[in-house]
Amino acid sequence: MTVTAEAPFVRLENIIKNYGAVRALGGVELTFNSGECVGLVGHNGAGKSTLMQVLAGNVQPDGGELSVLGQNESMSYGVQRALELGVRCVFQELSLCPNLTVVENTRIRHPSITGFGWRKRASLLIRSFLDDIFPGNSIAVDDLVADLTLGQRQMVEIATVFAKTTSSLRLVILDEPTSSLDHAIAGQLLAYVRRFVTEGGCVILISHILGEILSTCDRIVVMGDGRVVEERPAARFTKHSLVEAMGHVNHAPQAHQPETVVKARTAPVVAEIQPPRRGSMTLTARKGEIIGLGGLAGQGQTTLLVLLQRSAGRHISFARCSGPVAFVAGDRQTDGVFPLWSIGQNITIRSLGTMRRFGLIDPKKEREMERRWKERMAIRTPDMANNIYTLSGGNQQKALFARALASDAEIILMDDPMRGVDIGTKQEVYHIIRSEAAKGRTFIWYTTEFEELTSCDYVYVLRDGAIVSEMPRSEITEAKVLQSSFEEVAQ
Amino acid sequence: MMPNLMTPRALRSLLPAISFTVLLIGIFYVQPRAMSFMGLNLMLNLALPIALATIAQMFIITMNDIDLSLGGFVSFTACIGATLLGESPVLGVLALLACIGVYALLGALIHVRNLPSIVVTLGMSFVWLGAAILVLPTPGGQAPDWLRAIVSVKTPFVPFVIVASAIIAVGVHLFLMRSSTGVILRGAGGNPQAVARAGWSLFRAKVTLYALAGFFGVLSGLTLVGLTTSADANIALRYTLLSIAGVILGGGEFVGGRVSPIGAVLGALTLTLASSLLSFLRISGDWQIGAQGAILILVLALRTLVNRMERRK
């Protein structure tokens, strides 16, 4: 790396972004220079993706300064401006149109390909870049994207981003680019990234495969809680020091709960699941236990919970649940609340079956349940007949908990329900979960926050849909969970 | 490179043509006299406005929306064609242009306020119907002579309907499936977020598609009134469902921007022919709509079968 006197390609100063009460980015300071590859790592919710969305112009930061080549661009920065400046991004969720062919998708990414004969030009362009980046690929450019495999789609996505037309290409953001590529193809991509960087481009590489980051990048930035916590040349990191740097993100070590005594696992097994076609490890939950599901976000935890729910009262070969099940959704908007209903109705829906009188719902019993759970969960509202959206996010989540706890369910599945909930509410809910578990209910709890795992009796870590490690409460440490979450370190 | 005709993808795109051909063969078998210039002309007489309405519906479906007001809209433009357009051509043309403008505005409204198209167009269907009754309270009116002349052009060898349908199908195909603008419009239906991230305006895409739908709706109304020479406020109400059925029959899907203009026109012709076949089979009018539905289910079942073949591969 030669040190140049000119201004860095992109400089970020004190970038802030809030989503409601949640601080996604809390003052990020970073520079990206031409001719270098920067690795960006961090645990779930560290703010990596949000930061990249800011760089790509999709998200407007709430504060801070973004300058490109020494020019302050904060005022006018957006998708268009980012494209003009030569900033492009391969997003984690693919951004190809499945109903179009590879050639047509290239056209969408490159506005300059237009007019008579555009099809031929787009076809030549994408063909040459596909063959340049991934020699020996078997992708036909006239194929519909929907007909390609996931890996091939990722290759097409990468090739369309690197394809150069009239506009310049200065900075490419690769967000988990190798997640669906096999080893050899991933190697081809990383080799191409190095070539691109040598020719003066800049690449930001986000990946949870640490070996990749260490071998490809010049500099590695570790993020946590919306800030940069560590920044060093890649050569001064090892896999272990990298994992450690990510672990330090977490706030002061928590005071241990008094009841850290490990319960012997003797109670009867109430739920059991083995992820289909993914490894041989099995999850077992016993009566009265709180089971934690850890690992990086989106490694199959939610799928596991959904499968468990489906297995209740039905025969499925991978999973077994004895007793009624309730599900606490994490994504309130899509599968949690009934937006047009009152708070009370949102709570009682799961239990209407038990409140019938002559086949109709008994309003007295319904009000009774609403009142009881308003008190029990301390839901802050003057009237349970108000619409659910009059509540704050945390209180909506409490209502969803109440829905599950008020029901006859013996097994309660939780899909990262504390996302974006304030700390006070969390404490209240933890307390209720513990007391309900003591009464014999079983909780299976997917969470992306390490602290929550420490209040579980037993933790399973998932990676790529498979259970990769299990540990009782006495053995749960952040380093251990992180190590199993990241591939190579675990061994 | 010769595309393999036996792949599921090729089969799926050929399905509209196959079902059309099978139906035609069925008709010729039952009634050999239909196999003539006159016969085809009579059977497909009213196919042209349906084909145009189907194309209009297809533009809306491209963006994963649906238009329940199309029948009312076609009726309204037919009523304008039978009254205003003949009486004062300038005013008539302006009124029709305004209709297209209203469609573009609907697209804008649906995009900006993020409304469900099904609700907006359901409401609009009553507006169009009411407007049509205001323009033409009792059935009647008179199509301008030039309009009647255009739709009754005699072409040699092949009936005009077929020539015109082919021109429409190929023209829209070139625009929507082959041009670089068409790619953006279809992409906006396939993955709106990706198209927006690439720097395109979804607002413009939606307004364009709605305006195109309005334009083809107007064409449909005008050809209809040209063929029937007079209009009635209820003249085209069944076009709403016919056009949706035509798009689906022609290989289109409700979500994901998967449409085919050639398929849509073939779908419209198939639906028209289906009623002829049923008449030839002496199935009473009471049963015809049900029988048309049965044909629709049959074709869709075939398509599901092809899709399943594809998944198994």
Predicted structure pTM score = 0.77
Q: What is the mean pLDDT of residues A147-162?
A: 89
Residues of B in contact with A148 (CB under 8 A): none
Q: Strand A325-328 to strand A411-415: parallel, antiparallel, or no bridges (unpaired)?
A: parallel
Q: What is the mean pLDDT of residues A182-206?
A: 91
Neighbours of B97 (CB within 10 A): 13
Q: What is the mean pLDDT of residues A351-363?
A: 88
CA distances to A183, A260, B222, B231 from B83, rounded to whole Å, are: 71, 86, 11, 9
Q: State whether B9 and A97 contact (CB < 8 Å).
A: no
Q: What is the mean pLDDT of residues B216-237?
A: 94
Grade residue B312 by pLDDT with cuts at 50, 70 and 90.
low
Q: Is A114 an interface residue toward B (CB < 8 Å)?
A: yes
Q: What is the mean pLDDT of residues A14-25?
A: 81
pLDDT at A252 over 50: no
CA distances to A107, A262, B189 from B193, rounded to whole Å, are: 16, 49, 10
Closest-CA distance of chain A to residue B184, Å: 6
Distance, in Å, from the CA atom of A1 to the CA atom of A218, rounded to the nearest integer, reads 8
Q: Is A407 an interface residue toward B (CB < 8 Å)?
A: no
CB B126 within 8 A of CB B240: no
Q: Which residues contact A219 (CB under 8 A, 6 or more apart)?
A: A36, A37, A38, A39, A231, A232, A233, A234
Q: Which of B9, B178, B191 sits opposite A97 (nearest CB)?
A: B191
**Residue A88: strand, helix, or coil:** strand
Q: What is the mean pLDDT of residues B52-63?
A: 96
Q: Is B3 an interface residue toward A (CB < 8 Å)?
A: no
- Residue in A234, A229, A224 with CA at minimum distance from that of residue A203: A234
Average pLDDT in chain A: 84
Cα A395 off chain centre by? 23
pLDDT at A24 over 70: yes
Q: What is the mean pLDDT of residues B257-264?
A: 93
Give the domain ranges of chain B. Answer: 43-304
pLDDT, position A258: 46
Q: Is B307 an interface residue toward A (CB < 8 Å)?
A: no
pLDDT at B198 over 60: yes
pLDDT at A168 over 90: no
pLDDT at A241 over 90: no
CB B115 within 8 A of CB B109: yes
pLDDT, position A196: 93
Grade residue A394 by pLDDT with cuts at 50, 70 and 90.
confident
Share of chain A above pLDDT 70, in %: 92
- Residue in A166, A156, A96, A168 with CA at minimum distance from that of residue A126: A156
Residues of A in contact with B4 (CB under 8 A): none
Q: State whether B186 and A100 contact (CB < 8 Å).
A: yes
- Residue in B205, B195, B160 with CA at minimum distance from that of residue B63: B205
pLDDT, position A420: 66
ipTM metric: 0.88
Grade residue A448 by pLDDT with cuts at 50, 70 and 90.
confident
Q: State whether B187 and A79 contact (CB < 8 Å).
A: no
The listed range with the strongest mean pLDDT (A6-20, A301-315, B193-207) is B193-207
pLDDT, position A125: 93
Grade residue A149 by pLDDT with cuts at 50, 70 and 90.
confident
Share of chain A above pLDDT 90, in %: 27
A121 to chain B: nearest residue by CA?
Answer: B180
DSSP sequence for B121-168: HHHHHHHHHHHHHHH-SSSB----HHHHHHHTPPPSSS-HHHHHHHHH
Closest-CA distance of chain B to residue A168, Å: 15
Ramachandran angles phi, psi of B48, nearest 5°: -60, -50
Q: Which of A99, A113, A144 sits opposite B180 (nearest CB)?
A: A113
Distance, in Å, from the CA atom of A81 to the CA atom of A76, rounded to the nearest integer, reads 7
Q: Is A98 an interface residue toward B (CB < 8 Å)?
A: yes
Neighbours of A235 (CB within 10 A): 11
pLDDT, position A166: 65
pLDDT, position A103: 94
Which of B7, B180, B203, B204 has the highest number of chain A CBs within 10 A, making it the mutation to test binding with A? B180
Q: Range with the lowest mean pLDDT among A233-237, A422-426, B170-174?
A: A422-426
Which of A54, A83, A87, A97 has the highest number of chain B CBs within 10 A, making it the mutation to test binding with B? A97
Closest-CA distance of chain B to residue A99, Å: 6
Q: Is A104 an interface residue toward B (CB < 8 Å)?
A: yes
pLDDT at B264 over 80: yes
Q: Is B193 an interface residue toward A (CB < 8 Å)?
A: yes
Q: State whether B198 and A95 contact (CB < 8 Å).
A: yes
Q: State whether B180 and A58 contact (CB < 8 Å).
A: no
pLDDT at A226 over 50: yes
pLDDT, position A251: 45
Q: State whether A109 and B178 contact (CB < 8 Å).
A: no
Q: What is the mean pLDDT of residues A127-144?
A: 92
B256 to chain A: nearest residue by CA?
Answer: A99
Q: Mind listing the pLDDT tens digit for each residue in A78-105?
A: 888 888 888 998 876 678 999 999 999 9
Which of A99, A165, A166 has the highest number of chain B CBs within 10 A, making it the mutation to test binding with B? A99
Residues of A in contact with B190 (CB under 8 A): 97-100
Closest-CA distance of chain A to residue B5, Å: 15
Q: Which of B178, B184, B256 sits opposite A108 (nearest CB)?
A: B184
Ramachandran angles phi, psi of A220, nearest 5°: -125, 130
Q: Range with the lowest mean pLDDT among A5-19, A136-150, A474-488, B16-30?
A: A474-488
The listed range with the strongest mean pLDDT (A262-271, B140-149, B299-308) is B140-149
Average pLDDT in chain B: 90
pLDDT at A215 over 60: yes
What is the enclosing helix (H) or strand (E) of A192? helix A183-198
Q: Is B197 an interface residue toward A (CB < 8 Å)?
A: yes
For A:125-184, CB contacts with B below 8 A are 144, 147
B185 to chain A: nearest residue by CA?
Answer: A108
Grade residue B41 by pLDDT with cuts at 50, 70 and 90.
confident
Q: Range with the lowest mean pLDDT among A10-14, A18-22, A48-52, A415-419?
A: A18-22
Q: Mind listing the pLDDT tens digit for each residue in A317-332?
A: 788 888 889 999 877 7
Share of chain B above pLDDT 90, in %: 65
Q: State whether A104 and B187 contact (CB < 8 Å).
A: yes
pLDDT, position A255: 44
pLDDT, position A148: 85
pLDDT, position A491: 41
Grade residue B287 by pLDDT with cuts at 50, 70 and 90.
confident
Tokens encoding A264: 């012997």
Residues of A in contact with B187 (CB under 8 A): 97, 99-100, 104-105, 108
What is the enclosing helix (H) or strand (E) of A358? none
Distance, in Å, from the CA atom of A306 to the CA atom of A325, rounded to the nearest integer, reads 11
Q: State whether B200 and A111 contact (CB < 8 Å).
A: yes
Q: Which of B180, B190, B199 sits opposite A97 (nearest CB)?
A: B190
Q: State whether B187 and A100 contact (CB < 8 Å).
A: yes
Q: State whether A98 and B191 contact (CB < 8 Å).
A: yes
pLDDT at B256 over 60: yes
Torsion of CA B100, B104, B107, B113, to 10 degrees: -130
Q: Which of A56, A99, A144 sits opposite B189 (nearest CB)?
A: A99
Q: Which of B198, B200, B258 sits opposite A99 (nearest CB)?
A: B258
Q: Which of A95, A99, A104 sits opposite B256 (nearest CB)?
A: A99
Q: What is the mean pLDDT of residues B117-123?
A: 95
CB pairs under 8 A between A and B: 65
